[in-house]
């Protein structure tokens, strides 16, 4: 099952529930690369040119718990550069901001993860009131991102300080 896709130069890159990341030629559809990550993916990779950031889902069958990973792959080869485990799946796209070298991902474990894009180190793990199923987005001034939860809250997060500058009930 194909989940989501992005274009990378002359290629189309898509993710799937079967744990594969596939790269194909835009003109011919010929598959150039198929990477098995052994984890389900529900969203598109986010690109910064040389790297792809992707959130995944993995099942811990010993405890019947779904966890996830935030992964950084080399955009040309698919080689894993780093991986950061989380306590919940990552259902939305990861967001990247070049000015702060930051990757932000929401998780079903009721947190927003703010990571160093170069190392994958967790800068901040921000608690929310509900699962973060959508993509966090950068907007406004540098270092500011917004995350939304399934229980209807919007959070304005400063990724440089880890502070929630405000949260507002928006619906649901």
User: CA–CA separation, 126 vs 149, rounded Å?
Assistant: 12
Answer yes or no: are the C-beta atoms of 102 and 113 closer than 8 Å: no
Mean residue pLDDT of the chain comes to 89
Residues facing 154 on adjacent strands: 148, 168
Instruction: Round to the nearest angstrom and report the end-to-end CA distance of the chain.
Output: 29
| Average pLDDT of span 142-147 | 97
Q: What is the pTM of this model?
A: 0.88
pLDDT for position 64: 59
Is the pLDDT reported for residue 2 higher than 90? Answer: no
Is the pLDDT reported for residue 65 higher than 80? Answer: no
pLDDT digits (tens, 9 = 90+) for 109-139: 999 999 999 999 999 999 999 999 989 999 9
């Amino acid at each position: 099952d194909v989940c989501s896709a992005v274009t990378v130069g002359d290629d189309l890159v898509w993710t799937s529930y079967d744990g594969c990341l596939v790269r194909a030629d835009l003109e011919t559809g010929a598959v150039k690369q198929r990477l098995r990550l052994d984890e389900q993916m529900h969203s598109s990779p986010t690109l910064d040119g040389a790297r792809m950031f992707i959130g995944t889902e993995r099942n811990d069958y010993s405890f019947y718990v779904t966890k996830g990973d935030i992964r950084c792959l080399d955009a040309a080869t698919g080689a894993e550069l780093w991986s950061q485990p989380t306590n919940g799946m990552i259902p939305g796209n990861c967001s990247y901001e070049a000015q702060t070298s930051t990757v932000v991902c929401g998780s079903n474990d009721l947190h927003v993860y703010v990571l160093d894009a170069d190392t994958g180190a967790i800068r901040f793990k921000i608690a929310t009131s509900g699962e973060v199923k959508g993509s966090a987005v950068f907007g406004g001034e540098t270092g500011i991102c917004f995350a939304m939860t399934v229980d209807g809250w919007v959070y304005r997060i400063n990724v440089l300080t880890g502070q929630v500058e405000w949260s507002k009930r928006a619906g649901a």
